[in-house]
Each structure stands twice: as structure tokens, then as C-alpha cells.
Amino acid sequence: MLRHPQANRQIRLEGTPVAYLLQRARRRSIGFRVDGDGLSVRAPLAASSGAIDGALQAKSGWIVRKLAEQGDFQRRLQAARIDWREGAVLPYLGGSLTIALDPAREVATRGAQCQGGTLYLPLAHGAAPAQLRDAAQAWLMRQARAHFTARLEHFAPRLGVRWTRLSLSSARSRWGSARADGSIRLNWRLMHFSPAIVDYVVAHELAHLRVMDHSPRFWDTVASVVPDHAALRRQLRDEATPAWD
């Protein structure tokens, strides 16, 4: 059975039992949402159970397909989780880094260092998982700021815009944003993706300094520097990345 963690109703769709969350609200139509929790339904206060069931059956194909896609994504997300110990693998710019602990570096470098495909953390071999995670995150955020700055400097003149400030975000589901004053905000977790995907997000946000909506003119602006932006956007949406909580 596909079950929402707060499910309060159940229905069979396309032969599949689905337990979903029903919420009543002051609205005119019945709305559906499928996310990592499952199916949630928002219905008008006066909508009958029969009307809600009918609406669900009418959208059953879409709902079951989206639930299956979310189930697959959640399984991939779980598989992407990092077991914070020596030897753990960290996705990095489309490749991977293996974490090694080297307490001698604590005095020598005062920070983590990457050599080849290994990320050396200046921690004792008995360090707690949270210590490994925090040290790796601090290093990754430093790399993110340097990499993003270089790519902003690369794309800004090509788009004829000027950015004024870069800040790093830890948002769960938003990869970037731009303000009219030239401020750019980028999620440091983009460093898990390939350089091409990072470039797409950087170009996307810089393009907003010319066009602040998602009109055809905006996408034409993005395409002028990243012609394959549509394929990169799909990859960004579909790839599972590690959770950092």
C-alpha cells in the first residue's frame, strides 16, 4: 500500500490501495499533490466524499504514476545517504571523493584538504559521525564559494549583467535565486552535481538579472550561454543528492 504518513482516508486507484491525507479548505476545486510523503488532497468544505472519490478516480493514472516516481526517487535518495565514517564516499562535481581521517593535518593545515580523489579531514580516527559531516560540509562550502564565484565571473559578461554579491544557501529544494540589485544566492549542495549542471544554475540566476520572470525571452537568454539547459534542468530535478541533516 502507498501510504501518506498522516493519511486519514483510503481509496483503490488502478488496483492499488492508496492511503492519503485529506484536508478541507475554503476553495472552489479539488486539488492533488504528490511528493515525498505521498498523496495529499485539498477539497472544498462542501465537497462530498463521492465527489472527492470521483475526482481521484478521474486522475488515477496520473496519481499512481507520480506516486511510483516519488517512490523510486525516495529509494534513490536513501541510497545516496552518506554513512559518515572513514571511507565514506562524497559526490563532488559529478565525480566522488573518498573521506579519510588524518589527525596530523589539524596542526599543519587547520582544515580539510583534497588530494586526488581523497578528502582528508583533520580529525581523530575515533571522531563522531557528526564531526565528519560538519568538517566535510565546511570544506565543501569553501569550494562552493570559490567555484561559484569563478562561474559567475565567466557568465556575467557573456550575458551583459553585473552581479554584486554571492551568498550560499542551504535550502532543501531551491537551488538558487537572484535579486534585482545583483545579489545572487546559490545552494552549496550544487557541488554534488556535474560542472555543467552548476553552470546551468549559475546562468539561470544571472539571466534573471536581465529578465525577472520565466517567459520565453528568459529561456532564450539562458540558451544563449547554455544551449542544452533543458536537459540539464531535467538532470537537476531527477538526480538524488545526499541529505545533510
pLDDT by residue (tens digit) across 76-113?
666 667 888 999 999 999 899 999 998 775 544 567 88
Please choose, from the candidates 71, 72, 69, 91, the residue with its C-alpha nearest in 3D space to the C-alpha of residue 80.
91
* β-bridge pairing 38-44 and 16-25: parallel
Q: Which pLDDT score, from 0 to 100, does residue 77 have?
A: 60
* pLDDT band, very low/low/confident/very high, at 222 (cuts 50, 70, 90): very high
* pLDDT band, very low/low/confident/very high, at 144 (cuts 50, 70, 90): very high
Q: How large is the average pLDDT for residues 188-217?
A: 95
Q: Say which residues have a Cβ less than 8 Å from residue 123's Cβ, sequence separation at least 6.
A: 101, 102, 103, 106, 131, 132, 135
Domains assigned to the chain: 2-79 (no CATH), 89-238 (3.30.2010.10)
Among 83-87, 185-189, 209-213, where is mean pLDDT lowest?
Answer: 83-87
Q: How large is the average pLDDT for residues 219-226?
A: 97
What's the mean pLDDT when you consider all of the chain?
A: 89
Q: Say which residues have a Cβ less than 8 Å from residue 243's Cβ, sequence separation at least 6.
A: 77, 80, 81
* pLDDT band, very low/low/confident/very high, at 228 (cuts 50, 70, 90): very high
